[in-house]
């Protein structure tokens, strides 16, 4: 059994969209619905003065959903960790549509809960 984690970076985003708390709340909602995630409470948000960058964190029954925006660099970093495998989802299309991202990098990491046979034999 293993979970999965996505680490996503979006670059070339619209600066105003990255400082828009309502857009980020909508992103968390869309991800929760699309990936069948279950928030255990309201997400926590912090908007930085000056740059307007935003940090967000939602505790999920499945683990967590987190983001950090950098309007000054036109970038958004997103992390989604689920305790059970999930189908792939088109993060790129969403971030291009909602934040005008010009480039999106998505890395999926499988997170095993038990060591593999090779790992347990070596130590």
Q: Where are the beta strands (DSSP E) in 28-102?
A: 44-47, 54-59, 63-70, 75-82
In tens, the pLDDT along 8-67 reads 999 999 999 999 999 999 999 999 999 999 999 999 999 999 889 999 999 999 899 999
Tell me which residues are annotated as active site. 63, 68, 83
In tens, the pLDDT along 65-106 reads 999 999 999 999 999 999 887 788 999 999 999 999 999 999
DSSP state of 114: S
DSSP state of 19: T
Predicted pLDDT at 112? 81
What's this model's pTM, rounded to 2 decimal places?
0.88
> Side by side, which strands form the sheet with 54-59?
44-47, 54-59, 63-70, 75-82, 2-11, 103-112
């Amino acid at each position: 059994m293993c979970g999965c984690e996505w680490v996503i970076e979006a670059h070339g985003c619209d600066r105003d969209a990255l400082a828009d708390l309502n857009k980020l709340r909508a992103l968390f909602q869309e991800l929760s619905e699309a990936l069948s995630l279950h928030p255990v409470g309201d997400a926590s948000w912090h908007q930085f003065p000056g740059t307007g960058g935003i940090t967000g964190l939602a505790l999920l029954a499945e683990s967590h959903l987190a983001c950090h925006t950098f309007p000054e660099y036109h970038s958004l970093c997103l992390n989604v960790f689920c305790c059970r495998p999930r189908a792939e989802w088109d993060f790129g299309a969403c971030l291009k549509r909602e934040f005008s991202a010009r480039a999106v990098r998505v890395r999926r990491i499988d997170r095993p809960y038990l060591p593999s046979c090779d790992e347990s034999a070596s130590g």
